[in-house]
Homo-oligomer: A and B are copies of this chain.
Amino acid sequence: MTDFVHTRSLFHIPDGVVYMDGNSLGPLPIAAQERVAKMMRDEWGEQLIKGWNSAGWYVQPRKVGDRIGKLIGAAEGTVVMGDTLSIKVYQALASALNLNPSRRVILSDSGNFPSDLYMAQGLLELLDDGCELDIVEPEEVEAAIDDSTAVLMLTEVDYRTGRLHNMKELTAKAHAHGALTVWDLAHSAGALPVDVTAAQADFAVGCTYKYLNGGPGAPAFIYVAPEHADAARPALSGWMGHEAPFAFDLDYRPGHGIERMRCGTPPVIALTALEAALDVWDGVSMDDVRAVSIGLGDLFVREVEGRCPELTLASPRSGNKRGSQISFLHEQGYAIMQALIARGVIGDFRAPDAIRFGFTPLYLGEAEVLKAVDILADIMANRLWDMPEYRRRAALT
């Protein structure tokens, strides 16, 4: 069993804070500070332009990609880092559509993160070829997959409720109907065991600032299944994805395999922070993370339902049907979350009425969960949320 006492010592959690928002932004891995300082001083400062080779910056997107790959069941050389998740969604989706040219429907659901849907809309507007985006309810996805589906594009864990799609089964059904799949693992990678190889996912993408603790705006990753890697057209065809970036040819020729999903110059400082954050996972079993996370979540649901009857559970009750976050609904959700934050319990609010809590064993244990419930129960029982300063700002509505 992973010793989470050890991993907790690797993060900085401010005094008095119960941090239940690692599903939005993971906390600071203490070692990241010195790692970045060292990179800036010894690599950028001392090696200057030579750092691209001597400090390994040029190969860093692949090297870090391989480390993420281990956490999501991807073989070496099938994951690369760069850009943001939105950009990687675009590349994956454009590639998948191109690989399935006789089909015209992208199937997604209303539980997909909106940015994924927006990127699809932007792509379809450019394509202007009759392709359409079909957005159904999460529970209708399976039935909606049919022989018209070009690409099934889903986020495995619903950002609102934590509801978990069955990646393997949905992918199998998509394949049986001749569709390809793009899986967004933003709320999965680092939260639960993922195996893109076993699930036969075609493309997978994710961010690294949530459960992977890479810092605000940390780079994204993209996985391309080996059978597509040399056929995929990256759409965003930048020089770092060129077969020979430093030949400076005038014509684009895609690089081999996953290399072609690189685009512009990689963000070295951010990747270096992420490298330090990934060290935390050494010796950690994702099965243990999952088991403890479910246990903490179950405890939270039980206690909150027992003590805060005004709150309605929005997440699946069964631990294996959800990711590692749990949401409750209340029309005053925004104010309730503000009151919680004011007392050191940091979760977040998702419009219109969800308060959301993440359960991340790397730095969160039973004592903190019980403390959070105590504070939440006090806020609810005494209507402590009903204060002018907790009212929702118009800008966020």
Contact = CB atoms under 8 A, between A and B. Distances in A.
A122 B40 CA distance: 34
A73 interface: no
Interface stretch (A174-182, A237-245, A280-288, A383-391): A237-245
Q: Is the interface of A mostly helix, strand, loop or mixed?
A: mixed
A110 B248 CA distance: 10
Contact of A269 (B45, B57, B264, B270): B270
Interface stretch (A125-133, A164-172, A192-200, A364-372): A125-133
A285 B269 CA distance: 29
A51 B285 CA distance: 30
A236 B121 CA distance: 9
Closest 8 CB pairs of A and B: A84-B264, A122-B237, A86-B238, A115-B239, A86-B264, A216-B268, A118-B252, A217-B267
26 contacts: A17-B48, A21-B48, A25-B44, A28-B40, A44-B215, A49-B346, A51-B216, A57-B216, A83-B84, A84-B238, A84-B263, A85-B264, A85-B265, A115-B239, A117-B252, A118-B242, A122-B236, A122-B252, A135-B250, A215-B268, A215-B269, A217-B266, A218-B267, A219-B267, A246-B396, A269-B269
Interface of A: 12, 14, 17, 19, 21, 24-25, 27-28, 32-33, 36-37, 40-41, 44-46, 48-52, 57, 83-87, 90, 94, 110, 113-115, 117-119, 121-123, 125-129, 135, 160, 207, 209, 215-220, 233-240, 242, 244, 246-252, 263-271, 273, 341, 346, 348, 350-351, 396-397
